[in-house]
């Protein structure tokens, strides 16, 4: 899992290279990447959603921790079974 506000990438690797890296690890090692987005930055959330898609995982957006905590817990349980 990757849980972030989506603003974690540095200039050392491009977004395209990061997406390619996620696909590579899924294809070569079966590593699944799910991402969890916090915050309201639409570009950052879109980036995280694309990362999850490239990693064959799921994307969750947490708007309100009080109401969304159950969704987060269920996702962790689901992915832990794989």
Burial class (CB in 10 A: 0-12, 13-18, 19+), 27: exposed
pTM of this structure = 0.77
| Pairwise CA distance, residues 44 & 50, whole Å | 10
pLDDT of residue 10: 64
pLDDT of residue 5: 62
82 residues of the chain, pLDDT tens digit each? 676 666 666 677 888 998 999 999 999 999 999 888 888 888 888 989 999 999 999 898 888 878 788 888 887 888 777 6
pLDDT of residue 55: 94
């Amino acid at each position: 899992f990757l849980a972030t506000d989506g603003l974690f990438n540095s200039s050392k690797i491009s977004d395209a290279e990061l997406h390619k890296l996620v696909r590579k690890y899924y294809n070569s090692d079966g590593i699944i990447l799910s991402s969890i987005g916090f915050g309201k930055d639409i570009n950052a959330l879109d980036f995280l959603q694309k990362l999850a898609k490239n990693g064959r995982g799921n994307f969750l957006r947490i708007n309100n921790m009080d109401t969304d905590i159950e969704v987060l817990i269920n996702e962790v349980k689901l992915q832990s079974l794989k």
